[in-house]
């Protein structure tokens, strides 16, 4: 990987960002559901160069037992970065940052889940950052909520998340790594689109009251767009596309009906 060089500017004279995006433009996003065979539910996300896998196991028996909650399932989230996911090798032991982000992600996801349906059990969410290029906690929430849906965990809603930040005095959605490192701050947020509930809101850096309100509005708009992408990713796996295979489906159905008629005749 080429050594990192601080860019001369984060916003060009034409008002574009280092990667050519407009201030309210997300990075290219690719969401996939059901990517891991062993997990009960899984998903991957590519958001620009950030690449993350999420795997869900459970609901299942909780060990160690002293963590048991009598009235609901325990949502156990483990966010980890691969040693090779960042320019400097990341030490393999869990860092304080990883522990804090795990907690923040669990708190962002919990309001979307009907955990009370599985008292005493655990739902494990493992998040692996394969490549980090900014915005990993939000991308992780996008993938983890899809993996939870894939595992069949009862949910009120998917949870879209995005970070809005500021660079050269301009508010920007979905910060890349350079914008995150050399910008003036960021506000990661997650919402439940159906209710408008905000389940993650953090702030790093200085924002005026007006900037914060505008940043949140930009974040909510981006989250609504991300929510559509999440639903599309689920539909690609769970809803049969009439354009590829409706005829086959009808043929199969007819064949089945034909067989049952023959059986009745006999």
Size of the site for ligand CDP (CB under 6 A): 14
Name the strands in the sheet holding 41-47, side by side, starting at the edge strand that comes first in the sequence. Answer: 29-33, 41-47, 50-61, 121-131, 74-81
Determine whether 22 is exposed, middle or buried from the number of CB atoms within 10 Å of its CB (0-12, 13-18, 19+). Answer: exposed
Q: Could you tell me the smallest distance in angstroms from the CB atom of residue 135 to ligand CDP?
A: 5
Assess 133 for contact with ligand CDP (CB under 6 A): yes
DSSP H/E element including 216? helix 209-238
Q: Could you tell me the smallest distance in angstroms from the CB atom of residue 177 to ligand CDP?
A: 4
Among residue numbers 153 through 172, which ones bind ligand CDP (CB under 6 A)? 163
E strands within the chain? 29-33, 41-47, 50-61, 74-81, 121-131, 161-167, 170-173, 185-192, 197-201, 204-205
- Candidate residues 58, 134, 160, 185; the one interacting with ligand CDP per rule CB under 6 A: 134
Measured CA to CA, the distance from residue 56 to residue 35 in angstroms comes to 11
- Candidate residues 161, 174, 180, 199; the one interacting with ligand CDP per rule CB under 6 A: 180
Nearest residue to 137 via CA among 118, 161, 169: 161
Assess 132 for contact with ligand CDP (CB under 6 A): yes
Site string for ligand CDP, 73-112 (x = CB under 6 A): -------------xx--x------x---------------
Measured CA to CA, the distance from residue 224 to residue 157 in angstroms comes to 12
Site string for ligand CDP, 184-223 (x = CB under 6 A): ----x-----------------------------------
Please, which residue, 97 or 235, has the CB nearer to ligand CDP?
97
Q: Which residues bind ligand CDP (CB under 6 A)?
A: 86-87, 90, 97, 132-137, 163, 177, 180, 188
């Amino acid at each position: 990987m080429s050594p990192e060089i601080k860019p001369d500017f984060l916003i060009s004279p034409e008002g574009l960002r280092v990667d050519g995006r407009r201030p309210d433009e997300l990075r290219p996003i690719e969401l996939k559901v059901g990517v891991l065979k062993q997990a009960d539910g899984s998903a991957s996300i590519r958001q620009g160069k950030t690449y993350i896998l999420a795997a869900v196991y459970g609901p299942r028996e909780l060990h160690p037992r002293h963590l048991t909650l009598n009235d609901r399932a325990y949502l156990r989230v483990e966010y980890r970065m691969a040693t090779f996911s960042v320019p400097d090798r990341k030490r393999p032991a869990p860092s304080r940052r990883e522990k804090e982000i795990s907690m923040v992600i669990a708190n962002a996801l919990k309001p979307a889940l009907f955990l009370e349906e599985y008292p005493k059990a655990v739902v494990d969410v493992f998040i692996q950052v394969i490549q980090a290029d900014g915005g990993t906690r939000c991308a992780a929430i996008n993938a983890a909520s899809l993996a939870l849906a894939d595992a069949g965990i009862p949910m009120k809603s998917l949870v879209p998340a995005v970070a809005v930040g500021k660079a050269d005095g301009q508010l920007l959605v979905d910060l890349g790594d350079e914008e995150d490192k050399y910008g003036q701050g960021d506000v990661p947020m997650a919402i439940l689109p159906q209710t408008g509930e905000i389940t993650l809101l953090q702030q790093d850096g200085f924002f005026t009251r007006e900037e914060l309100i505008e940043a949140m509005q930009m974040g909510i708009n981006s989250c609504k767009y991300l929510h559509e992408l999440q639903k599309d990713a689920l539909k690609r796996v769970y809803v049969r596309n009439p354009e590829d295979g409706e005829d086959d489906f009808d043929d199969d159905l007819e064949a089945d009906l034909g067989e049952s008629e023959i059986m009745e005749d006999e």
